[in-house]
């Protein structure tokens, strides 16, 4: 799974997807671009990059992988998510796979700092579950690296 971040007007943002109601798992939920590993993927990073291309149209050549977060299990579907933090270009012309993704949106990192750790709310969007756990992991690393409190 990709955790895409970009810099807009001097501030970093995290890009999220809202899954469609057509997908098999996690219908309508807020997530990051990602999915199951295919036999053609040499690694989980390859899976994340392929899914980023398939779901939102971000090419692997335009992605700068900054690191990998800890694996995060889902409780309802028993998936194990391997998140890769990726710097993506801004502005970017996204191409959504409408079967899988209804919408993309971003939230400034600063708006997520110091929020509840189990659920994040921003502009009418609710981020919870495994996605919220991944966001919290990212924020912990972000604060540690930047010295922010």
> Lowest mean pLDDT: which of 18-32, 71-85, 88-102?
18-32
Helix (H, G, I), strand (E, B) or coil at 100: coil
Boundaries of every domain in the chain: 2-146
What does the pLDDT look like over 120-130, one tens digit per residue? 999 999 999 99
User: What is the arithmetic mean of pLDDT over 72-91?
Assistant: 92
pTM beyond 0.85, yes or no: yes
| CB contact burial 58-96 (16+ within 10 A = b; e otherwise) | beeeebeeeeebeebeeeeeebebbbbbbebeeeeeeee
User: What is the arithmetic mean of pLDDT over 104-111?
Assistant: 96
Q: What is the mean pLDDT of the chain?
A: 92
* Residue 68 confidence class, pLDDT cut points 50, 70, 90: very high
Superfamily of domain 2-146: Nucleoside Triphosphate Pyrophosphohydrolase (3.90.79.10)
* CA quadruple 107, 145, 139, 141: dihedral, nearest 10: 140
Query: CA–CA separation, 86 vs 25, rounded Å?
Result: 24
């Amino acid at each position: 799974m990709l955790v895409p971040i970009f810099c807009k007007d001097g501030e970093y943002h995290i890009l999220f997807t809202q899954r469609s109601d057509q997908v098999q798992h996690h219908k309508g939920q807020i997530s990051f671009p990602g999915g199951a590993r295919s036999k053609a993927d040499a690694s989980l990073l390859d899976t994340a990059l392929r899914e980023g291309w398939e779901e939102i149209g971000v090419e692997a050549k335009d992605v700068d992988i900054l690191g990998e977060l800890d694996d995060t299990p889902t409780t309802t579907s028993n998936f194990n998510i391997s998140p890769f933090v990726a710097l993506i270009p801004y502005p970017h012309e996204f191409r959504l796979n409408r079967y899988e993704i209804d919408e993309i949106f971003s939230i400034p990192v600063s708006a997520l700092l110091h929020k509840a750790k189990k659920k994040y709310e921003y502009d009418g969007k609710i981020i919870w579950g495994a996605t919220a756990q991944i966001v919290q992991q990212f924020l912990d690393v972000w604060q540690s690296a930047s010295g922010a409190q």
